Every structure is written in structure tokens, then in C-alpha cells.
Amino acid sequence: MNTHETTVHAADSRYAMFRLGLTLLIMTVGSSGMYVVSVMLPAVQAEFGIDRADASLPYTWLMLGFGFGGVLMGRLADRFGVMWPLLMGSAFLGAGYIATGLSGGIVSFTVAQALLVGLLGSSVAFAPMVADTSLWFVKRRGIAVAVCASGNYLAGAVWPPVAQHFVETVGWRQTYIGIGVFCGLAMALLALFFRARPPALVHVPPVNASSAAVVRDMTRPFGLSMGVAQGLLCVASVACCVAMAMPQVHIVAYCGDLGYGPAQGAMMLSLMLGFGIVSRLVSGAICDRIGGLRTLLLGGVLQCVALLLFLPFDGLVPLYVISALFGLFQGGLVPSYAIIVREHFPPKEAGARVGTVLMFSLFGMALGGWMSGKVFDLTGSYHAAFLNGIGWNLVNVSITAFLLFRTLRRPAGRVSASPAR
């Protein structure tokens, strides 16, 4: 904890709401890296003369760096406050975009994406911000985390059409350089408002019989050891995001293969992630009522339904409709993991544990993006890739149902579905 901090703000206060609004902006700007690279995929593949799987590797390595960076930046935020990692991330994000625009081949392109954009840049605008937000709210933690995480999807709604426009008018290299200058400066300015530390890390609540029982219960989340419980959440997170990555990473290329053109794919991606914002907000409200596990199970089942719909329909209008449904069904999945961690694990470990689970979700996105491209190269179509995503989705649903079953079997006195105090 920084001893020089003198101003203490309460949870659920006006300042917390103001901070949440700024967090939404940070997430929108900083998460651009996850979506711009998907729009660039066809142009990069054409310029470097590589196959679809190799063209997908920058996204894969970007997401791996993004995941590891979330844990790294989360630990720095726990120690020094989130402002300093944000300032550092803004500098590396801007530099990473510029380096990508100047890259001479797929290797240098991938290195810039993985190390600068992913590991040291965009990563600070996801897991650390979600964990930070969860510590600023008590009464409406679910909806607050959902609003925060919506910045990630707002980025997905805003950046693909913007990037596609400039790719068509000035080229992908100049587009990357321009985005780098804008995002680096914008994130740095917003970071200056994040000096205050979360009240959950400043105040130590008094210990009474009730709180002692909660602490004891949190040492056995779901009636399992801490390591096993976190491990199952990480596997579930990987599985749901492998499935999620199939449409998100390849919808632009898929539309190109069907003859509709990459511009239509970029619009579908924007629509998908725009509806994901609605889904995240609705799921946050649902989380506050039924808890994170039930919300995660609901989202997992609905995501599987949307993936199934991609199999029989490939017309332009049906693809727009299914893209919207996919975004609407799966948008609340990732924020649910943060709520589950806050409900079933000790609050003082929120930063590290939320960062770890979300890191595995990003690993899932990275694996899913590459795997879908590889399946396409082997089969010549995306039909098998959709089936692969459905299989992974069923793994997520099975683990979530198992954990929910474990909580329902536990005796009275377990942690309730309401947000942890």
C-alpha cells in the first residue's frame, strides 16, 4: 500500500462511479489491440504471402502476451496502484502499434504484437481494471464489473469499422501508426485520474463470528481446495474462450471466403461485439441476483446454441442475425469469472486470482484463434472449426454445472450468491 495516499474514497460512492466511467474509456482505448489485428488479417496475409494459420499467429501470440501481461500488471497495480501500470502500458501500446506498422515481415509483426501491444500494452486495460473495479463496489458489484468489462466489447464495436475504413483508404501500415499515436496519448491522459487506492485495500473490516465463518468458507471454495477450485475455473475459462474465438477472430475472413468481402465481415464483428455490450450489462444485473456461477452456466449454454446456428446458415442476412445473437448470448461469460472469484475466494487475493483466471480466458482466445485457422487450412472450410468450438463449449458447461452442483450440496452458512463483503 502506498503510505503517501491521504484521500480515502468509500465503496459505491460518487467517486467510484466517476472512476467506473473513466475505466470504461480506458478499456475501450486499451482493448483495441484485440480487434484491430483481426481486421488486418486478410491484408497482412496477402502482403506477406502466408497461409491462414500463419496469418492468425500474431493474434495468438498477442493474446498470450495479453494474458501473461494481465497477471504482471495486476501485481504491479496491487503494489503501486493502477495509475503507474496504466502510464507504462500507454507508452508500450503506442510504441507497439507503430512498430507493427513498420514491420518488415510476419516475424517482426508478431513480436511487436506479442511483446509491446499484448504483454506490456493492452494487458493493463483488462484484468487489472476488472479487478480494480471489483474492489470499488459492494452493493452492485456485478453490474459495475459488467460496465467495466463492456469497454472491451465497446472496443470491438468501435475499432473494426474504423480500422477497416483506414485500411481501405491509406493502407494497414499507416492505420497501425495512426492508431498507435492516438491510443498512446489517450491512455496516458486518462491514467492520471487513477491515483486513489480501492477502499477494500485501505480498510480492514472487523472480525466477528459471521465474517470469520465467511473467511473459513472461502478457504474451501466449492468445497474444494483453493488450487483445485482455481484450476477448474481456469480450465472452464480456456474452454469457453476457445469456442468464443471462432467467430470473433475469423468472421472477417469467413465472409471473404463466402464472397461477401472483408468489409461485411468487419461490420458483423462490430455488430457481434456491440450486442456483447448489451449482454454484459444484462448479465451483470443477473449476477447481482443469481450469482456468478448460474450466470456463467446460462451464458455457456446460450453460446453453444449460437455456435450451432452457424452450421446450417451461411447467407448474408442470416450471418448478421447469428452474429448479433452470438454477441448477445456470450457477452457476460468473461465478467462472470471475476464475480465468481470475488464470491468464493478471499478479497485480498482478488487481483492475483482474477488476473489468473482472465489470463486463461485469453489463452483460450489465443488457442481458439490459431486452432480455427489450422482447422480451416486442413479442411478447406470453417464447418469443422465451428464443430471444434462447440466441443470446447461443452467442456465449459460441464465444469460450470459441476461447480454449481458442489455449491448446492454444501451446508447452510456457505457464501451466498450475493457479492462478497
The answer for residues whose C-beta is within 8 angstroms of residue 25's C-beta and 6 or more apart is 151, 186, 190
Range with lowest mean pLDDT among 225-229, 234-238, 280-284: 280-284
- CA–CA separation, 296 and 226 (whole Å): 20
Q: Does 41 have pLDDT greater than 80? A: yes
* Nearest CA-CA partner of 417 in 403, 398, 402: 403
- CA–CA separation, 19 and 294 (whole Å): 28
In eight-state DSSP terms, residue 124 is G
pTM: 0.74
149, amino acid identity: A
Placement of cell 490459431 in the chain: 370
Q: What pLDDT, on the 0 to 100 scale, is given for residue 214?
A: 45
SS3 (DSSP) at 33: helix
The answer for residues whose C-beta is within 8 angstroms of residue 413's C-beta and 6 or more apart is 213, 217
Take residue 172 and report the three cell numbers written for it. 494497414
What DSSP string describes 170-187? H-HHHHHHHHHHHHHHHH
- CA–CA separation, 18 and 197 (whole Å): 14
Q: Does 3 have pLDDT greater than 80? A: no
Take residue 201 and report the three cell numbers written for it. 485495500
Query: Which pLDDT band, with edges at 50, 70 and 90, does 1 fall under?
Result: very low
Helices (H), 102-140: 106-111, 127-134
Q: Does 215 have pLDDT greater than 50? A: no
Placement of cell 447452510 in the chain: 412
C-beta of residue 135 within 8 angstroms of C-beta of residue 200? yes
C-beta of residue 235 within 8 angstroms of C-beta of residue 399? yes
Instruction: Give mean pLDDT, residues 202-222.
Output: 55
H/E stretch holding 210: helix 209-218
- CA–CA separation, 40 and 150 (whole Å): 23
Instruction: Give mean pLDDT, residues 396-400.
Output: 96
- CA–CA separation, 99 and 111 (whole Å): 9
Q: What pLDDT, on the 0 to 100 scale, is given for residue 414?
A: 44
The answer for residues whose C-beta is within 8 angstroms of residue 331's C-beta and 6 or more apart is 150, 153, 275, 276, 277, 278, 279, 280, 283, 299
- CA–CA separation, 246 and 266 (whole Å): 14
103, amino acid identity: S
Placement of cell 461490420 in the chain: 267
78, amino acid identity: D
Take residue 321 and report the three cell numbers written for it. 442475425
Give the distance from CA 95 to its chain's centroid.
Answer: 22
Instruction: Give mean pLDDT, residues 258-283.
Output: 86
- CA–CA separation, 199 and 388 (whole Å): 44
Placement of cell 497501425 in the chain: 176
Q: Does 207 have pLDDT greater than 90? A: no
Q: Report the mean per-residue pLDDT for the chain.
A: 86
Instruction: Give mean pLDDT, residues 364-373.
Output: 85
